[in-house]
Structure 1
């Protein structure tokens, strides 16, 4: 039985080095990358290194480092706050999103179809995540104690000499980690205003690549004028859109609205159905000759334009009565473009009006309809997120991530889309437990959980026959369940005694299982079953890919029944030879018990045995 357990998350630096060594083996010098050799292979001269174009700010180097630094954090399940734990595929996580993104790297790398975030806009009043480059997890846990005392972390006031730098140091590592989670055909949508738009655009160009920029959308967020504004009434926000890889990413067309559909009619009762008249000429081309229709009308493209169709196509349309000469038959000829022959929907535009996707007042009404409200100044309307989902989601089981979940609009919109289209789109929402001044909710994450719960209940009541997933599993960011080795000369004896049982006090079997799933790269939403064998709880994860028994004591007398239960369960699932089993190393009554357990399991094909 192999005893091992890595306390840290996915090591991105180690992974990057391995990729470089694979591509350029000549850069491997005693296990490290020879940067000079690498640059030479890429055709970069040393003197050019300090003359690169791009955005620089105080702390950028450290911001890059913190994104690559592994974490010892984990997630702990909170079943009492969850809804439909056993069946749901949705996830809500309370915690600092920088650490959470690191924790999720193994389980969700290249799994996310869409990321939407609404980060702090850095208006001078917004909360700013205060990261600690040395130990961000410890920093978070210390700050959490401040939360519990009702203290706010920090605001980024304009008087600060690092006003923009502080915001950039916050957003850069989070976007860098988020990119790893996107699928090749995935995309990220980011809400922002004028304060940091320019900086965010440059950061995204660097992280996602300029070639993967898709659009800068303008959202008309307010329908009223701010007459007390000093200069202009600010009525819009931006949404930056980047693809993970533009070569694979495609947008769905936007559904035609009523005004667009009204343009299609059928005054001549054509058998192909409704149509609208479109020009026969185009701005570019090579042919500007005339064409004579069968009714004798001679047509030529207007000066400076060209024919859209050749003679053969024109003749075919004319024979099939697909040319319109107006009600009197004497107007300029046009082509009949049939609705049945055009693409479903229309190409989306970059200006989204409040009539189409809602406004901030409507967003507040969304909350009031759930008996919520009064907590957020500028929540996003569900209609806005529905537009984004409609443009990107293509599969019934696509995964959506929002790691600045706020009021929970993203999760609500996913549920609404699932109801409307009978889909099974999943979401992961992450929110910091930031304290708020509210009689009912101590922190924003409490509000988010309640909003997701109420939204699901409301939608279920609207369609009682809908069997969709309205639940969510709640997890909380915390330190590893494995006791860290922090011995000094003075505390060595104490640490050795503590490591007789390396599991932290107060941690449950479910805590250990969750951490193990994350370290092994298993999706947190997979099915987990439990059974008792001679009083010992055994968990089976994802149809038999993983079996665990984290009982603190495994008597020698229980080994036979325990192993028989696991073997029979494994065989019934036809899980194969890749199944992994985990136990607590110090739980066995003696070495004979552990040896017997290993021997029996190995005899039946279960050879991947590990202990913590």
Structure 2
């Protein structure tokens, strides 16, 4: 393999460029080359030629069509595809069990986070659950650049989080009340779809305010054919007489799959459902339940299912009259020979029932109404948080039971689950608790913007400055609670078998921040002596090796939960990522001597990465290609 010390992009992927390349792979003749302002040549599409290639399929102008649109939709589509020069900075001190955990908590704007995860977690997530703002007029909406112009922005801004992300209250008096909400959510859903596995599924909580727009939006992004169900969840168990009109006791869960191959998990059977089976004729195959032999359609509509049947006990012959039979004559004979027809307790019924044996039936299919007994309610969610954190510091959080039901219907024991409106991290707690029940190894990625808690709020009075801080503390305490409970159970059952394992209750914290690289790394178009000297060290002064390492992982499409170890070679720090598979070795020290480079090459990693400042001079930088080509020809080498 040829060695190329190419620069890693060190930014989120440009999805527009990817789409152009996909079109060009099908229609290379529509390629045009465009000269950019920085003097670079990039690929573009000649849409006139593309129209000619698709003659008969292109819709021109404003012909009547069914479509869903709003003010700002085009800009929200552009926003979804636009790359960001940002990174995820690891925060080991705020994490729990950093070395061993596979769980991720990202603090920052979820639009940036989703863009940064595009390569590392493409087609990797089994289930997404989100509880976005419901657009009630009182909740805060993420302020993306396409939502309002600068004058409106200065007038309407109400909330700034601790890292400068701005949010605004989308009041019902705003002219673009629905449009702003759609523009906020659309690009996030579009990016989230890319992360789902082909057999993946997304659940979105919503209420009456925006369910009509959300349904249309998800039809467009995921496809109408991938709509699975609109679940009604009974969030309250009783009415409130404080309301003037109807009391709202339900919310919704819109559920879409990425592909029709998704099927929900069947539920375990219950004593109540199994109690409907009995064995009145002492059949050796066990309990059974009778299914009707009558077809709901008439003989005129099902002529092939009309034939005389004979009761073998009485020799009575019966013809179909009002209804046709449910099974064909051949099937009737086979069922009779297999003793699967029941002619009543006295054996004299003119029409039999078909035995359906309990041992042969499958589990229960999920339904589209979830009562509060089945999936919890908001009061339960509030009590859970109070018990963990000692105060009512968040209004109406979702209950753990609701998320556990979602997991039960959609995930296997090793699923990766994403929640990018994670709030108090109830999804993370539910995953840890579910793993404690069945010894599963489900993992999570939580994303929450560090929205500031109001100074007069109970959260602020309990020393929580942001919603993200509440979520992290909830995960810490919930994990310790789960651990203590399992340890207590193990202590009481030492004589009955092996101890129950403690699930992964840790999490790695990352924060969205500006790129680690100086601006000149990306867009230097004019060189002066000052900028040339700046190229010698292209990393911002406040960034660490760990910051660089995890930006490299994102740029290379590696996951954030991979094992990380270090070793020292001749005073130089060597980072190993996923050492079991030798996935990556990095060294960001300055002036690495050739002898150390050779030792790294002899380790034969799949990937190796250094920084510009790692080399004494240009010849040293060029020499690395020769070293790896000779000693480890299959290693891909990059420089940042």
Q: 1:484 aligns with which of 503, 508, 519?
A: 519
Contact 2:109–2:165 (CA under 8 A) maintained in structure 1:
no
In the TM superposition, what are the counterparts of 1:304-323 in structure 2 within 5 Å? 304-323=322-341
Identify the residue that residue 69 of structure 1 maps to in structure 2.
Answer: 82
Identify the residue that residue 484 of structure 2 maps to in structure 1.
Answer: 461
Summarize deviations over 1:163-215 as a string: whole Å, max 9, x none.
Answer: 11110110011011111111111111111001000001111111111111111
Q: 1:471 aligns with which of 483, 490, 506?
A: 506
1:24 maps to 2:23: no
Contact 1:9–1:519 (CA under 8 A) maintained in structure 2:
yes
1:78 maps to 2:113: no
Identify the residue that residue 602 of structure 1 maps to in structure 2.
Answer: 629
Give 1:350 deviation, angstroms.
Answer: 1.1
Give 1:134 deviation, angstroms.
Answer: 11
Task: Give, in whole Å, the separation in 2 of the partners of 1:302 and 1:125.
Answer: 63
Relative to structure 1, the CA distance from residue 583 to residue 76 in structure 2 (aligned partners, 3 Å threshold; closer, same or farther) is same
Contact 1:283–1:304 (CA under 8 A) maintained in structure 2:
no
Task: Give, in whole Å, the separation in 1 of the partners of 2:163 and 2:638.
Answer: 41
Identify the residue that residue 433 of structure 1 maps to in structure 2.
Answer: 450
1:160 maps to 2:174: yes
Contact 2:386–2:393 (CA under 8 A) maintained in structure 1:
no
Q: 1:583 aligns with which of 601, 610, 624?
A: 610
Give 1:498 deviation, angstroms.
Answer: 3.5
1:223 maps to 2:237: yes
Identify the residue that residue 554 of structure 1 maps to in structure 2.
Answer: 591
Task: Give, in whole Å, the separation in 1 of the partners of 2:591 and 2:332.
Answer: 84
- Three-state SS of the structure 1 residue aligned to 2:197 is strand
Q: 1:119 aligns with which of 132, 138, 148?
A: 132
Give 1:312 deviation, angstroms.
Answer: 3.5
Contact 1:460–1:466 (CA under 8 A) maintained in structure 2:
no
In the TM superposition, what are the counterparts of 1:356-375 in structure 2 within 5 Å? 356-375=374-393
Count of residue correspondences: 593
Task: Give, in whole Å, the separation in 2 of the partners of 1:550 and 1:144.
Answer: 42
1:563 maps to 2:597: yes
Task: Give, in whole Å, the separation in 1 of the partners of 2:523 and 2:410.
Answer: 51
Summarize deviations over 1:534-553 as a string: whole Å, max 9, x none.
Answer: 121111112322110012x2
Give 1:375 deviation, angstroms.
Answer: 2.3
Give 1:52 deviation, angstroms.
Answer: 3.3
Give 1:77 deviation, angstroms.
Answer: 0.4
Identify the residue that residue 203 of structure 1 maps to in structure 2.
Answer: 217
**Between 184-193 and 369-378, the greater mean CA deviation after superposition:** 369-378
Identify the residue that residue 52 of structure 1 maps to in structure 2.
Answer: 65
Contact 2:601–2:627 (CA under 8 A) maintained in structure 1:
no
Contact 2:89–2:547 (CA under 8 A) maintained in structure 1:
yes
Contact 1:150–1:435 (CA under 8 A) maintained in structure 2:
no
Summarize deviations over 1:436-477 as a string: whole Å, max 9, x none.
Answer: 231231111111111122222222222233142221111000
Identify the residue that residue 162 of structure 2 maps to in structure 1.
Answer: 148
Task: Give, in whole Å, the separation in 2 of the partners of 1:152 and 1:383.
Answer: 33
Task: Give, in whole Å, the separation in 2 of the partners of 1:282 and 1:430.
Answer: 52
Task: Give, in whole Å, the separation in 2 of the partners of 1:62 and 1:417.
Answer: 40
Q: 1:501 aligns with which of 511, 528, 537?
A: 537
Task: Give, in whole Å, the separation in 1 of the partners of 2:224 and 2:608.
Answer: 45
- Three-state SS of the structure 1 residue aligned to 2:120 is helix
Q: 1:128 aligns with which of 141, 149, 168?
A: 141
Task: Give, in whole Å, the separation in 2 of the partners of 1:192 and 1:300.
Answer: 54
Identify the residue that residue 257 of structure 1 maps to in structure 2.
Answer: 270
Contact 1:292–1:299 (CA under 8 A) maintained in structure 2:
yes
Task: Give, in whole Å, the separation in 1 of the partners of 2:158 and 2:558.
Answer: 27
1:611 maps to 2:632: no
Give 1:147 deviation, angstroms.
Answer: 2.5
Task: Give, in whole Å, the separation in 2 of the partners of 1:568 and 1:48.
Answer: 62
Identify the residue that residue 36 of structure 2 maps to in structure 1.
Answer: none
* Unaligned runs of at least 5 residues, structure 2: 34-42, 488-499
Give 1:254 deviation, angstroms.
Answer: 2.5
* Unaligned runs of at least 5 residues, structure 1: none
- Three-state SS of the structure 2 residue aligned to 1:277 is strand
Contact 2:313–2:348 (CA under 8 A) maintained in structure 1:
no
1:519 maps to 2:542: no
Task: Give, in whole Å, the separation in 2 of the partners of 1:42 and 1:375.
Answer: 60
Contact 2:160–2:166 (CA under 8 A) maintained in structure 1:
yes
Task: Give, in whole Å, the separation in 1 of the partners of 2:255 and 2:314.
Answer: 51
Identify the residue that residue 419 of structure 2 maps to in structure 1.
Answer: 402
Identify the residue that residue 428 of structure 2 maps to in structure 1.
Answer: 411
Relative to structure 1, the CA distance from residue 146 to residue 492 in structure 2 (aligned partners, 3 Å threshold; closer, same or farther) is farther
State the TM-score, normalizing by the size of structure 1: 0.90
Q: 2:18 aligns with which of 15, 18, 38?
A: 15
Identify the residue that residue 570 of structure 2 maps to in structure 1.
Answer: 534
Relative to structure 1, the CA distance from residue 305 to residue 415 in structure 2 (aligned partners, 3 Å threshold; closer, same or farther) is farther
Task: Give, in whole Å, the separation in 1 of the partners of 2:631 and 2:166.
Answer: 56
Task: Give, in whole Å, the separation in 2 of the partners of 1:71 and 1:152.
Answer: 17
Contact 2:417–2:445 (CA under 8 A) maintained in structure 1:
yes
- Three-state SS of the structure 1 residue aligned to 2:140 is coil
